[in-house]
Amino acid sequence: MNFGFSLSPSSAVNLDKIDLSLYHKMEEIEPDVRICIGCGSCSATCTGQPFSGMSLRKVILAIQRGRENEAREMLSGCMLCGKCTMVCPRGINTRHLILSMCRYWDGEDHGYNLMNEVEVKI
């Protein structure tokens, strides 16, 4: 029977059961992530935010809560412009953090592609 409304799925997070390996990976890459105070300056300045809802503060929070899919979606909207690094009051190298997370997301090293030919113009 459809009443036109339903119960929303539980958003409770059981911190004892979630897999925190991704967060530990993040700590390994950029130990400074531990000193994040969640002020949201990164989100406020984010260039990608209006288009994809990217917010580094939320990404970190989501990973700490084991909600990896949300984090992944947000990361894929990052434009790597580096404004978050410039405004971070804690001096976290957020740009490197994001880039490294994108690289080692599934805990694997995807290696190098040393044979491909590219047009390099910088």
Q: What's the min distance (Å) between Cβ of 37 and another protein?
A: 15
Instruction: Please state the closest distance from residue 8 (CB atom) to another protein, in A.
Output: 24
Closest to another protein by CB, 46 vs 57, is: 46
Closest to another protein by CB, 57 or 59? 59
Burial of residue 42 (CB within 10 Å: 0-12, 13-18, 19+) is buried
Q: What per-residue string of b and e applies to 45-75 under the rule 16 or more CB within 10 Å gives b?
A: bbebbeeeebbbbbbbebbbbbbbeebbebb
Quote the least distance from Cβ 4 to another protein, whole Å: 29
Q: List residues near another protein by CB under 8 A.
A: 32, 45, 47-48, 50-52, 72, 75-83, 85-88, 91-93, 95-96, 99, 101-106, 108, 110-122
